[in-house]
């Protein structure tokens, strides 16, 4: 029996010790998560929180009969991501990625299934499915699909900010929101003239802007989390 195994048992009934225990093994958690996902992660990534939760669950469910703690914790973390991946395979094709609303859309495509599931795992998974399916139906009324957003997602910071301004501009004006929903046409001219933005940017990212408006103006709390940067323009 190793000291780490005894520490894991002790941490089950001592919250202060649990915090110290998790802190000491953060490098292990980060390394394993990066290994499982096949890419580097930082503490600002959603996967970091997911892995910390998995490690915490490993501590809670550990017993000496399950062998050494580290291999056990590794299995728990890996199984969580395997479950996430398995669940994502059952999601509709429109789940190409809510991350298209953020920067780094191309880089995120390798882990799209993981990230969607991680954001919606367990408690909110069904709600997320409903939101995405509902949004997909709404966007079809504009003549494009959710998956189209991948190719029109702004990559440059400047372009992303311009799109955020356009989305916020329309959201602040209920009349424009209603007109958009009624006509299915983005008021490009009004946006360009009032914000002094390049018309080419607005037209090129029309689908992205429309989707952003529909999400914030509608009842999509989970998807709205991917548009936090737009709130800076309010």
- What's the pLDDT tens digit per position in 74-131? 888 888 777 666 655 544 433 344 555 555 544 433 343 344 445 445 445 566 677 8
For the cut 70, the answer to whether the pLDDT of residue 197 exceeds it is yes
Q: Cα(121)–Cα(57) distance, rounded to whole angstroms?
A: 15
Q: Is there a contact between 50 and 30 (Cβ–Cβ < 8 Å)?
A: no
Q: Cα(231)–Cα(171) distance, rounded to whole angstroms?
A: 11
Number of Cα atoms under 13 Å in the Cβ half of residue 216: 26
pLDDT of residue 86: 63
Number of helical H runs and strand E runs in the chain:
16, 0
Q: Cα(112)–Cα(90) distance, rounded to whole angstroms?
A: 14
What does the pLDDT look like over 128-184, one tens digit per residue? 677 888 888 999 999 988 878 877 888 888 999 999 999 999 999 999 999 999 999
Rg (CA), the chain: 22
Tokens of 119: 């954001």
pLDDT of residue 188: 96
Please list, residue by residue across 107-145, b when 16 or more beta carbons sit within 10 angstroms of its beta carbon and e when fewer do.
ebeebbbbbbbbbbbeeebeebbebbeebbebbeebeee
């Amino acid at each position: 029996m190793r000291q780490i195994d005894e520490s894991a048992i002790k941490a089950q009934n001592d919250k202060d010790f649990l915090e110290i225990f998790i802190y000491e093994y953060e490098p292990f958690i980060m390394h394993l998560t990066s290994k499982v996902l096949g890419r580097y992660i930082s503490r600002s990534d959603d996967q970091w929180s997911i892995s910390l939760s998995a490690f915490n669950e490993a501590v809670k469910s550990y017993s000496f009969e399950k062998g050494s703690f580290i291999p056990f914790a590794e299995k728990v973390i890996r199984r969580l991501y395997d479950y996430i991946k398995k669940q994502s395979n059952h999601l509709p094709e429109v789940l190409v990625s809510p991350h298209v609303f953020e920067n780094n859309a191309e880089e995120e495509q390798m882990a799209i299934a993981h990230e969607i599931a991680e954001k919606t795992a367990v408690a909110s998974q069904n709600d997320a499915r409903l939101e995405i399916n509902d949004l997909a139906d709404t966007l079809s009324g504009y003549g494009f699909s959710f998956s189209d957003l991948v190719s029109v997602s702004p990559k440059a910071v400047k372009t992303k900010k311009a799109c955020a301004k356009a989305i916020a501009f329309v959201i602040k004006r209920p009349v424009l929101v209603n007109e958009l929903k009624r006509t299915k046409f983005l008021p490009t001219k009004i946006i360009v003239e009032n914000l002094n933005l390049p018309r080419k940017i607005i037209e090129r990212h029309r689908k992205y802007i429309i989707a952003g408006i529909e999400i914030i103006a509608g009842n999509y709390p989970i998807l709205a989390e991917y548009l936090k940067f737009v709130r800076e323009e309010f």
